[in-house]
Structure 1
Amino acid sequence: MKYVMQSFSRLDQRYVVDKAEGHCSCPAFPREGWCKHLEAVGAYRPRKVNLTSRPSFSQALSGLVKSIRVRNIQEAVYWLGYCWGFRERINGTQFRTVRRLLIGAAEDGHSVSVMEQMAEVFQPLLAKDVQLEKVVAELVRICKVPNWWHPASGGPDYIYAGMIASREMLYHREAIQVQEALGQMERAIDAGDSAKALRWAMLVGNVESGLSLMATRLLGIATVRNHQVALRLLRNIYLRHGAKLGGDNNFITQAVWWLCGGDSPVVDELPSVSDEEATGLLDAARSMYPHVIPGWCCDGIHCAGTDVRYAGMWDRMYAVCRQFEYYQRLDPNDEWLEASFYSMDGHLLLRRP
Structure 2
Amino acid sequence: MRTAFPFAAIVGQDQMKLALSIAAVDPSVGGVLVFGDRGTGKSTAVRALAAVLPEIEAADCLYHCDPARPDEACETCRGKAKPRRARKSLMRPVPVVDLPLGATEDRIVGALDLERALSAGEKRFEPGLLAKAHRGFLYIDEINLLEDHLVDLLLDVAASGENVVEREGLSVRHPARFVLIGSGNPEEGELRPQLLDRFGLSVEVKTPEDLKTRITVIKRRDAFERDPTGFVAEFEAETAALRQQISAARQRLGDVEVSDESLEKAAQLSIRLGTDGLRGELTLMRAARALAALKGDAAVLWPHLAELAPLALSHRLRRDPLDEAGSTIRVARALGDLAAA
TM-score tier after normalising by the smaller chain length: under 0.3
With structure 1 as the length reference, what TM-score do the two structures score?
0.24
With structure 2 as the length reference, what TM-score do the two structures score?
0.24
Quick check: which one's strand share is greater? 2
Could you say which structure has the greater relative contact order, defined with CA pairs below 8 angstroms and 6 or more residues apart?
1
